[in-house]
């Protein structure tokens, strides 16, 4: 991880963009070749808001703007913002006193907020409001003396942030395999919450097993797995029913992206691969395949999907149809520090954000 010394920029280590491979070849397939594109896919409202927050912080406050952790889990988005002047750091202690720092969409614990305040940082919180909702639930249940069984992945930034809101009262449950080992204080005051980007089916299985052990386990007040994660899983399930191969665009550390690969494999796809870029598609994946499903994680700009479609067209998969399983029109207002332009005038729609069409409706974000 980068550190700051002598004014040098600190950056999160990112995998290198893979070299472009030869163009894909058009090879014979048993039936007509086609692509089935999932919708919804790509950017969700929380990612859109977080990315605009960094862009706008750079515009309003000028460089440097620091960002704690990857603003969203996508290598292309992070490296693009880096080129625009954002400096990604792992910890607020790496940010010079008094500087602007943006907290990522995955959220932070109160300890991180305090750490930023201790350094007089000008913090801008780009935590997705749907993650903040889970934070509030954790705080409230903890205050009411509940124990929280948090279903989520150890080490994920969102999980660390949520656990930080109720550190004494939270037990992390990674999945069904953890259930036999969970020990609780009082079965009458027990609630489960979850990370927002999990597989719905696996989470429900974990809950079923937990409830077998603790029948009085309470449900969260509303779904913690967010609308975007759920919608993208429903869409890829439908696509996977007819696709022999599914290509999911997104980064390896993007939880919702990786879940889309799992969901595709569990719902009929014979093979499913995740790629950051079209250039990672391997010729042998396409051998003997007639129908390819394509989708993307919630932090993926549509331009990367379009590149995949271009490369697949080279390989004879030029016939593209879209399976639409939901419409999305949610848009979150920007963090309060960014609701005006640099001159202090309110921005369009009073939200402070750009008006963007949903990427899968407009073609490009």
For residue 126, how many other CB atoms are within 10 A of its CB? 29
Among 10, 24, 45, 89, interactor with ligand SF4 by CB under 6 A:
45
The verdict on whether residue 229 carries a ligand-binding annotation is no
The verdict on whether residue 254 carries a ligand-binding annotation is yes
Is 291 near ligand SF4 (CB under 6 A)?
A: no
**Catalytic residue positions?**
158
Query: Which residue do the tokens 């290598």 mark?
Result: 75
Report in angstroms how near the CB of residue 212 gets to ligand SF4 at its nearest: 28
| Window of 112-120, 126-134, 177-185, 203-211 that interacts with ligand SF4 by CB under 6 A | 126-134
DSSP secondary structure letter of residue 145:
T
CA angle 57, 66, 77 (to 5 degrees): 75
Encoding tokens for residue 103? Answer: 């907290």
User: What is the rounded distance in angstroms from the CA atom of residue 237 to the CA atom of residue 157?
Assistant: 27
Is 196 near ligand SF4 (CB under 6 A)?
A: yes
The verdict on whether residue 109 carries a ligand-binding annotation is no
Among 37, 86, 128, 148, interactor with ligand SF4 by CB under 6 A:
128
Best CA proximity match to 24, nearest among 292, 284, 358, 226: 284
| Window of 27-35, 113-121, 172-180, 225-233 that interacts with ligand SF4 by CB under 6 A | 225-233
Among 226, 236, 261, 292, interactor with ligand SF4 by CB under 6 A:
226
Is 220 near ligand SF4 (CB under 6 A)?
A: no
Is 358 near ligand SF4 (CB under 6 A)?
A: no
> For ligand SF4, which residue has the nearest CB?
46
Q: Where are the alpha helices (DSSP H) in 23-74?
A: 45-61
Cα of 159 vs its chain's centroid, Å: 13
Report in angstroms how near the CB of residue 228 gets to ligand SF4 at its nearest: 4
User: What is the rounded distance in angstroms from the CA atom of residue 306 to the CA atom of residue 71?
Assistant: 23
DSSP secondary structure letter of residue 181:
G
| Window of 16-24, 123-131, 307-315, 339-347 that interacts with ligand SF4 by CB under 6 A | 123-131
Is 46 near ligand SF4 (CB under 6 A)?
A: yes
**Whether the Cβ atoms of residue 22 and residue 307 lie closer than 8 Å to each other:** no
User: What is the rounded distance in angstroms from the CA atom of residue 2 to the CA atom of residue 82?
Assistant: 13
User: How many residues touch ligand SF4 (CB under 6 A)?
Assistant: 15
Is 305 near ligand SF4 (CB under 6 A)?
A: no
Is 228 near ligand SF4 (CB under 6 A)?
A: yes
Contacts 24+ apart (CB under 8 A), 230-234: 230/200, 231/40, 231/325, 231/326, 231/328, 232/38, 232/40, 232/41, 232/256, 232/260, 232/295, 232/297, 232/298, 233/199, 233/200, 233/259, 233/260, 233/263, 234/325, 234/326
The verdict on whether residue 333 carries a ligand-binding annotation is no
- For ligand SF4, give the closer residue by CB, 313 or 331: 331
User: What is the rounded distance in angstroms from the CA atom of residue 301 to the CA atom of residue 279?
Assistant: 16
**Whether the Cβ atoms of residue 340 and residue 346 lie closer than 8 Å to each other:** yes
- For ligand SF4, give the closer residue by CB, 130 or 191: 130
Report in angstroms how near the CB of residue 156 gets to ligand SF4 at its nearest: 11
CA angle 307, 58, 55 (to 5 degrees): 30
Is 105 near ligand SF4 (CB under 6 A)?
A: yes
Strand residues in 33-152 grouped as ranges (E): 34-39, 65-68, 86-89, 100-103, 122-125, 147-151
Report in angstroms how near the CB of residue 341 gets to ligand SF4 at its nearest: 24
Is 131 near ligand SF4 (CB under 6 A)?
A: yes
- In the window 252-281, what residues touch ligand SF4 (CB under 6 A)? 256
Encoding tokens for residue 314? Answer: 């080279």
Among 74, 197, 203, 206, interactor with ligand SF4 by CB under 6 A:
197
Is 298 near ligand SF4 (CB under 6 A)?
A: yes
> What is the sign of the dihedral through the CA atoms of 77, 83, 85 and 89?
positive
Q: Which residues are annotated as a binding site for [4Fe-4S] cluster?
A: 44, 128, 226
Q: Which residues are annotated as a binding site?
A: 44, 73, 106, 128, 156, 196, 226, 254-256, 299
Q: Which residues are annotated as a binding site for isopentenyl diphosphate?
A: 73, 106, 156, 254-256, 299
Binding site for ligand SF4 (CB under 6 A): 44-47, 105, 128, 130-131, 196-197, 226, 228-229, 256, 298
């Amino acid at each position: 991880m980068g550190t700051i010394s002598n004014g040098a920029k600190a950056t999160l280590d990112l995998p290198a963009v893979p070299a472009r491979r030869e163009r894909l070849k058009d090879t014979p397939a048993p039936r007509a070749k086609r692509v089935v594109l999932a919708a919804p896919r790509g950017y969700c409202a929380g990612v859109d808001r977080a990315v605009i927050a960094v862009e706008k912080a750079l515009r309003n406050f000028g460089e440097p703007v620091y960002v704690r952790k990857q603003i969203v889990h996508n290598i292309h988005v992070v490296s693009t913002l880096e080129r625009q002047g954002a400096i990604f750091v792992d910890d607020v202690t790496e940010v010079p006193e008094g500087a602007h720092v943006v907290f990522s969409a995955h959220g932070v614990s109160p300890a991180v907020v305090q750490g930023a305040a201790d350094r007089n940082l000008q913090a801008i919180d780009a935590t997705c409001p749907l993650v903040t909702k889970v934070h509030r639930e954790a705080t409230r249940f903890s205050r009411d003396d509940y124990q929280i069984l948090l279903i989520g992945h150890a080490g994920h930034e969102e999980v660390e942030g949520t656990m930080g809101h109720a550190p004494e009262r939270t037990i992390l449950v990674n999945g069904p395999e953890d259930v036999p080992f969970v020990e609780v204080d009082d079965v009458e005051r027990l609630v489960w919450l979850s990370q927002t980007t999990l597989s719905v089916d696996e989470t429900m299985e974990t809950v079923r097993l937990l409830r077998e052990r603790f029948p009085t386990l309470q449900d969260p007040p509303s779904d913690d797995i967010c609308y975007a994660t759920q919608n993208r899983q429903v869409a890829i399930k439908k696509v996977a029913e007819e696709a022999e191969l599914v290509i999911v665009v997104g980064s390896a550390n993007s939880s919702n992206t990786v879940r889309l690969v799992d969901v595709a494999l569990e719902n009929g796809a014979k093979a499913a691969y995740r790629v950051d870029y079209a250039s990672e598609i391997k010729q042998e994946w396409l051998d003997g395949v007639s129908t390819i499903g394509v989708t993307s994680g919630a932090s993926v700009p549509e331009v990367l999907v379009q590149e995949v479609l271009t490369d697949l067209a080279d390989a004879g998969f030029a016939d593209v149809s879209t399976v639409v399983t939901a419409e999305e029109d949610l848009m979150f207002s920007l963090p309060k520090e960014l609701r005006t332009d640099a001159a202090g005038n309110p921005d369009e729609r009073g939200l402070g954000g750009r008006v963007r069409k949903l990427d899968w409706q407009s073609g490009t974000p």
